[in-house]
Amino acid sequence: MLKKVTELPRAWYSLDDVADILGLERTAIYEKSRKGSIPATKIGGRWMIPVWYVNKLLEAGTTPPEPAAA
């Protein structure tokens, strides 16, 4: 018999989550996601950022890099 899973580990954070965690503005996170300096993907029309990346930033004590100039 299969057991019902009540909670799975989180794999993605929303832009709002990441802004709160890193203490940055949501618009800054959005721009960095859109321009590719943060690994992000759209899921259901929402930008989502992998938990591993946020953890990496927190462990290093850094913030996401600025997007490259065009």
The domain ranges of the chain are 12-60
**DSSP letter at 65?**
P
Interval 17-40: pLDDT, tens: 999 999 999 999 999 998 989 999
Bigger pLDDT: 9 or 48? 48
Q: What are phi and psi of 60, to 5 degrees?
A: -85, -15
State if pTM tops 0.85. no
**DSSP letter at 38?**
S
CATH code for residues 12-60: 1.10.10
